[in-house]
A and B are shown apart, each in its own frame.
Chain A
């Protein structure tokens, strides 16, 4: 066992690789800007409505469809709710969905990917299930899932988590497979290290970079799919605000109240842009080959 320790300690070149990423992080502007902007968006969406005791659900017919003004910087909607408040609350909902779905799909996908690479028969089975799940668009699966389990934020998160597991699992699996061909895994196997040790204390650390990048993109995708679901009326239920269902409401008033479309739309596109930027930056950090 002592020898195994020696080898396990010899792999830390991989550890230090990970820690050296932090210095690269500072030199990768898109990672830094993306990360900071995402943090700003998240804090704004959580803190401003809370500190300002803002109310995004009470309807007030006296304030219907008001154009942007000092009092209502983004105007009001068709039932007199303040659009600015609802954009912030919608952002909170979107980020909650995106981050939760990315976290759940990320963790399960990581485990599935790791083991399906290590055990080839299990891998074959799991990958066929993944192929099956990926054979229809995420949104189709998700709205049918919502149809079965009821329309709520929880089922939106759950459905998106399931849909995105295969994406994460595939990336982790292929990264694991290429690691398994490396010498250090052969050495560990020959020294009698168990599968748990090899997978979790060695390979996992080398796969985690690709995983972080993929999970970031899954988060952006989940936000987009949630918005699309809410937009066709199969996502986060009214009256809770979501960028998708705000855009759905705006459709009828697109002729008269442009602000109902433009502000939630911009918020959605900007947030997804920021997360994609973070993802691109992280990819630069973890996979220097992609730096072009």
Chain B
């Protein structure tokens, strides 16, 4: 198992390297003179020059890139001269609300989508199946922020049930934290539910058609045991895959939904950093989000091995 995880980790390095180059190049294309921005309008040429020295901007771009990557491997994503803060803690404080929304949304979607998918597969080609499919097709077309706006009209303005916006620190008020997550969570969950329930349905249909399911039924197992133990275990690999793959869309959904519900998350930090031309921050965010994505994929890879003994075997 250790070797398997190690192999996966190694294969993430080239991806991370390329992500670093993309993030670096993109944020350096933005033009403008960051040293001038930091120094302010009244600064003399000499002062700007000094700041440029300090920021390391006088070095050639490949050297700057190299330095930055070395720092990343030491866990240091850089220093924002514009905010006068380290990048890492700033990102961490903003990623918390975003991840809260994303993971809460993921939890909702799993709880809803998996039973729906299993139900649809069990009732393949019947009414329940068709309803689930239609529901999935509709929600695929509903962007999360639009879902958020519509939910806001219904639950906040009409029913006055839930808080409209904002974010509450769970250490201060856990119930408040939770209630502020409900609407954003449901908003990002809509698309995930569609994606996951479709995949659950189709991989369950595949599994239900296999020979071992016939054996399970000839053994006299109950339908629920056939479905949830035998068929579900065999369809879990494609389901895990789709959860890993759609994690990017989940984060994207959370970033946009933040704007609807005024959640101080990574989305706001990105937009503000772009406005401030704070490219240390921008490249830090990009590499951080990519890291989260890579870690999620690593976790799904490990879960494959947990589910499937054949994958476990190959890795030893």
A and B touching (Cβ–Cβ under 8 A)? yes
Binding site for B on A (CB under 8 A): 128-129, 131-141, 143-149, 220, 224-225, 227-228, 231-234, 247-248, 250-251, 254-255, 258, 261-262, 265, 268-270, 272-273, 276-277, 280, 292
Asked if A145 contacts B289 (CB within 8 A), the reply is: no
Chain A residue with minimal CB distance to B121? A292
Asked if B146 contacts A268 (CB within 8 A), the reply is: yes
Point out the residues of chain B lying under 8 angstroms from A128, CB to CB: 14-15, 18
A131 to B31, CA, bound (A): 27
Point out the residues of chain B lying under 8 angstroms from A139, CB to CB: 252, 255-256
Point out the residues of chain A lying under 8 angstroms from B286, CB to CB: 136, 140-141, 144
Chain A residue with minimal CB distance to B158? A258
Asked if A143 contacts B289 (CB within 8 A), the reply is: no
Asked if A133 contacts B141 (CB within 8 A), the reply is: no
Asked if A134 contacts B248 (CB within 8 A), the reply is: yes
Asked if B274 contacts A234 (CB within 8 A), the reply is: yes
A124 to B157, CA, bound (A): 53
Point out the residues of chain B lying under 8 angstroms from A232, CB to CB: 255-256, 259, 267, 271
Asked if B271 contacts A143 (CB within 8 A), the reply is: yes
CB distance from B122 to the nearest CB of A (A): 14
Task: Name the contact of B146 in the complex, choosing from A137, A138, A269 (C-beta under 8 A).
Answer: A269
A232 to B202, CA, bound (A): 35
The answer to whether A273 and B289 touch (CB under 8 A), given A131-B18, A251-B260, A254-B152, is no
Task: Name the contact of B248 in the complex, choosing from A136, A220, A261 (C-beta under 8 A).
Answer: A136
The 4 closest A-B pairs by CB, nearest first: A132-B18, A137-B252, A147-B274, A273-B141
Asked if B18 contacts A137 (CB within 8 A), the reply is: no
A234 to B17, CA, bound (A): 27
- Is B238 in contact with chain A by the CB < 8 A criterion? no
Asked if A280 contacts B256 (CB within 8 A), the reply is: no
CB distance from B199 to the nearest CB of A (A): 13
Give the dominant DSSP class at A's interface.
helix
A262 to B124, CA, bound (A): 35
Task: Name the contact of A148 in the complex, choosing from B29, B140, B249 (C-beta under 8 A).
Answer: B29
CB distance from A132 to the nearest CB of B (A): 3
The answer to whether A129 and B27 touch (CB under 8 A), given A140-B255, A254-B152, A268-B143, is no
B266-299: contact bitstring with A at CB < 8 Å (1 yes, 0 no)? Answer: 0100110010010000100110011001100000
The answer to whether A132 and B19 touch (CB under 8 A), given A137-B289, A148-B29, A277-B137, is yes
A172 to B267, CA, bound (A): 32
Point out the residues of chain A lying under 8 angstroms from B260, CB to CB: 251
Asked if B30 contacts A147 (CB within 8 A), the reply is: yes
**Most chain A beta-carbon contacts within 10 A, residue among B140, B143, B251, B270:** B143
Asked if B271 contacts A231 (CB within 8 A), the reply is: no
The answer to whether A247 and B146 touch (CB under 8 A), given A132-B22, A138-B252, is yes
Asked if A265 contacts B26 (CB within 8 A), the reply is: no
Asked if A133 contacts B256 (CB within 8 A), the reply is: no
- Is B68 in contact with chain A by the CB < 8 A criterion? no
CB distance from A99 to the nearest CB of B (A): 17
A245 to B32, CA, bound (A): 26
CB distance from B177 to the nearest CB of A (A): 23
Chain B residue with minimal CB distance to A233? B271
The answer to whether A276 and B140 touch (CB under 8 A), given A135-B293, A232-B267, A292-B205, is yes
The answer to whether A254 and B251 touch (CB under 8 A), given A273-B137, A276-B141, is no
Point out the residues of chain B lying under 8 angstroms from A258, CB to CB: 153
A262 to B157, CA, bound (A): 14
A87 to B180, CA, bound (A): 31
Point out the residues of chain B lying under 8 angstroms from A231, CB to CB: 145, 256, 259
16 A-B pairs with CB atoms under 8 Å apart are A128-B15, A131-B18, A135-B16, A135-B19, A137-B249, A137-B251, A137-B255, A140-B289, A144-B274, A147-B282, A228-B143, A228-B145, A232-B256, A232-B267, A261-B150, A265-B149
CB distance from B244 to the nearest CB of A (A): 12
Chain A residue with minimal CB distance to B194? A276
Point out the residues of chain A lying under 8 angstroms from B22, CB to CB: 132-133, 141
- Is B307 in contact with chain A by the CB < 8 A criterion? no
The answer to whether A143 and B274 touch (CB under 8 A), given A231-B145, A247-B145, is yes
The answer to whether A136 and B290 touch (CB under 8 A), given A131-B18, A228-B143, is yes
Point out the residues of chain A lying under 8 angstroms from B21, CB to CB: 132
Chain A residue with minimal CB distance to B15? A131
Point out the residues of chain B lying under 8 angstroms from A147, CB to CB: 27, 30, 274, 277, 282
The answer to whether A272 and B141 touch (CB under 8 A), given A135-B290, A139-B252, is yes
A140 to B292, CA, bound (A): 14
CB distance from A35 to the nearest CB of B (A): 16
